Amino acid sequence: MADERGAALLRGGVSSPRATFLELFFDLVFVFALTRVSQRILDDLGTAREDLPVEIAQTLVIFLAFWAVWTFTAWVTSRYEPEQPQIQFVVVYAMLGCMVMAVATPRAFDTRAVAFALAFVAVQVGRPIFLTLALRGHPRRLVTVRVASWAVASAVPWVLGAVLPGTWRLACWSVAVVVDYAGLMFGWPVPRLGATRTSTWAVLGEHLAERHQQFFLIALGENILVIGLAFSGRSFSAASSGAFLLSFVTTVLLWRIYFHRAGHLLTEAIRVARSPGRLGESMSWTHLVIVAGVLTTAVGYELAIVHPYERTRLAWAVFLTGGPAVFLLARARFEHEVFGRVSRSRLVGVLALAVLTPLATLTVSVVALAAAATVLAAITVTDYRRAYGRPPERPHPAL
């Protein structure tokens, strides 16, 4: 009887692959969370030069914490039936924790460290423990027991870092993030129980693919929000207006490059893959870098809109041209996952943007943004010419 109640939580043959309204509601929190992360980066760029690497490292830790919460929630709703009240509770619970984390983000390494760390720990520890209890006697509860064990282990440096000052906090939280991601990477191995790699999980691959596509759109939504807020607070000068237009065009180009074939065929690629779980696991890591590239690019937008005629500092160039380069590099891996090959235009684009990054310091920020947009536009045109007059390419997953 307990096994039957636990089995009712698992995805069945009649489960819809589409994301539920609650999951889309959950995603709205991350629009706010990503704006807090990008604002932290902008604040970091205003700090003293010697403190900038430390500030950027702190923001990276925060971003990785948010991604850990989102990606595991996506795996949960792809593995368990999201219409079940228990799973809906898990989603709402994670949503509340993310809201607290997002509110604490601006001062996460200062006065709100305890709030950020406890919210994260509450989600990461509470979620697998609740699922273990909800699964009752079902064999799959051993998976959530493994996850909970690693979450408790990472909770120690999270909580310890929250009460320690300065560099000790960054050191402790960095260790905690490594533990969190090592668990995900190696399958949360526990003595006697072994490991359970996500690549072997029975998940609804179409749902997982759609969730990552939706998170990419969330990142683009954060870009739109940054562009609008930055421009609405400025006078409508020719330079700011030009940077605003370039930022919008660049965002559209990111959308076009992502979804051109590979992005559209991700669901089908997982469906035809010989190892859907392995492809899903690889795709999750790829999207982590894709979203990081999009988020980094958004910081460049605000710099160009607010300081269009200022000489580009090297730190600014990292965001203006380096952000699109990171996106393209991850997008090349994404293409390899779906088609088993990489377009030459992606690699040429990464190389061009890498060369432009130091060269951008010789000009003003709006010109650097225009150069990055030109590279992305050239890739978009190349994609169009390559596909014109040819039958649609079908997925051929490399994994």
Q: Give residue 289's pLDDT.
A: 97
Q: Give residue 361's pLDDT.
A: 95
Examine the fold and report which residue of 200, 230, 247 is the final residue of a domain before the chain moves on.
200
Determine the Cα–Cα distance for residues 311 and 67; give it in Å rounded to an integer: 33
**Domain total of the chain:** 2
Interacting residues of 389 by C-beta distance below 8 A, sequence separation 6+: none
Which helix (DSSP H) or strand (DSSP E) does residue 345 occupy? helix 344-359
Q: Which long-range contacts (CB under 8 A, 24 or more apart) does 189-197 make?
A: 189/146, 190/145, 190/146, 190/149, 190/150, 193/142, 193/145, 193/146, 195/146, 196/142, 196/143, 196/146, 197/277, 197/281
Nearest partner of 109 among 50, 181, 178, 37, judged by Cα:
37
Query: Could you give the count of Cα atoms lying within 13 Å of 359 in the half-sphere of its Cβ?
Result: 12
CB–CB of 240/315 below 8 Å?
Answer: no
**Would residue 396 count as lying in a domain?**
no
Q: Are residues 239 and 374 in the same domain?
A: yes
Q: Are residues 91 and 153 in the same domain?
A: yes
Q: Give residue 199's pLDDT.
A: 66
Predicted model pTM: 0.92
Q: For residue 34, which phi and psi values (nearest 5 degrees)? A: -70, -35
Q: Give residue 103's pLDDT.
A: 97
Q: Are residues 48 and 180 in the same domain?
A: yes
Q: Are residues 233 and 98 in the same domain?
A: no
Q: Supply 270's token pair.
A: 């997982």
Determine the Cα–Cα distance for residues 255 and 243; give it in Å rounded to an integer: 18
Q: Tokens 């649609």 identify what position?
A: 392
Q: Tokens 């320690």 identify what position?
A: 164
The low-confidence residues of the chain, meaning pLDDT below 70, are 1-7, 12-15, 46-50, 198-204, 399
Q: Are residues 95 and 221 in the same domain?
A: no
Q: 10 Å Cβ neighbour count for 314?
A: 11
Q: Supply 253's token pair.
A: 């180009």
Q: What DSSP character marks residue 263?
A: I
Determine the Cα–Cα distance for residues 24 and 70; give it in Å rounded to an integer: 12
Residue numbers of the domain that contains 103:
2-200
Examine the fold and report which residue of 154, 184, 200 is the final residue of a domain before the chain moves on.
200
Q: Are residues 313 and 331 in the same domain?
A: yes
Q: Are residues 128 and 231 in the same domain?
A: no
Q: Are residues 120 and 213 in the same domain?
A: no
CB–CB of 385/370 below 8 Å?
Answer: no
Q: Give residue 297's pLDDT.
A: 96
CB–CB of 306/234 below 8 Å?
Answer: yes
Domain of 345, CATH number, reads 1.20.1410
Q: Tokens 């990276």 identify what position?
A: 60
Q: Are residues 300 and 381 in the same domain?
A: yes
Q: 10 Å Cβ neighbour count for 50?
A: 7
